[in-house]
Amino acid sequence: MSFERIGKMNTLMELATLINTSLDPKEIRTRAIEAGITLMDAEAGSLLLIDRVTNELYFEVALGEKGELLKEVRMTLGEGFAGWVARTGEPLIVDDVQNDPRFYRKADEKSRFVTRNLIAAPLRVKGKTLGVLEVMNKHNGAFTAEDMELFVSLANQVAPAVENAYLYEDLRETFFGTALALTEALEKRDSYTGGHTRRVRDYCMTIGVGMGLTKDEMDNLLLSAILHDIGKIGVRDSILGKEAPLSRDEAAVMGSHARIGADILRHVRTLKNVVPAVLSHHEKFDGSGYPARLRGDDIPLNARIISVADTFDAMTTDRPYRKALSKESAMAELRRCSGTQFDPTVVEAFVAASAAE
């Protein structure tokens, strides 16, 4: 075995390890293409997946100067080189793309990329084709049989990683969807707060993006926002649905929902990172909130974000005893209470992001 061959095999193993260290679908797919381009010493690459609803091929990720433009292109199975690979389940090398009758010209026309040669391999798991990995325009010479062997090996490593990412994505959607369904069922006890959880969730996502939170931080914020009022399951209907301002004693009972929610969620190991935000989303920046009178940065960031989103939704929603404020008036109230009730950084991020919409 030549030193070059050994080097490529080592590169293949390193790249395969990198691909399989993540469950983030986007990261896996991007790494897969980068691995293919590196291994084949090629100019560009793309990963096409089969739409599980329409059974069409679409460009999930395409690396190259105009790669993003290909996101709009879809092909039927059998159409183009990728369609041929997806339909037959066989890898493919094409030395002269422009003169091959299978060439799907719309992709090059859309991206303004000139494909000279390519190598493509199917992503198959348990006899099922998930998509196609392909790279184009080898820098030196043509793709070889040795390249094919390595590229198929790479595709065989990528396929289970893509499948695992699919499963993770499905589980994640089921988990978040179940949490949202549970809280929306709770909202039906109070006809005046319908849609509250979805709106707070959306406002929190707007703030999170504005503050530059990471994906993991955004996921935790999303779940915290969805579950922030779960403790209201322990508040009796006569208080929850009262069509008048609450008395002091009733307000204290209503306020207990933060502790109740935290106590409920503590029993679920996978929700341990959500508990602090649920417990503290009624704390105030100046220390006058509840239940622990936390102040400033001692209040968990997600709780500070939920506080702004929750209050904004309360101000802009009709209640039996008062009419909703306009969004402009509610924003002005957030600014007025910035530094006392609310974290100024969170308010600033919300105001800026809302103005940009």
Q: Which residues are catalytic?
A: 232
The whole-angstrom separation of Cα 345 and Cα 218 is 17
* Other CB atoms within 10 A of residue 276 CB: 17
Q: CA torsion sign, 268 to 269 to 271 to 277?
A: positive
Q: Are 36 and 42 in contact (CB under 8 A)?
A: yes
User: CA–CA separation, 213 vs 40, rounded Å?
Assistant: 35
Say which residue the tokens 């779960």 belong to.
230
What distance in Å separates the CA atoms of residue 129 and residue 77, rounded to the nearest whole number? 11
Cα dihedral: 18, 19, 20, 22 (round 10): 90
CA distance 195 to 187: 8
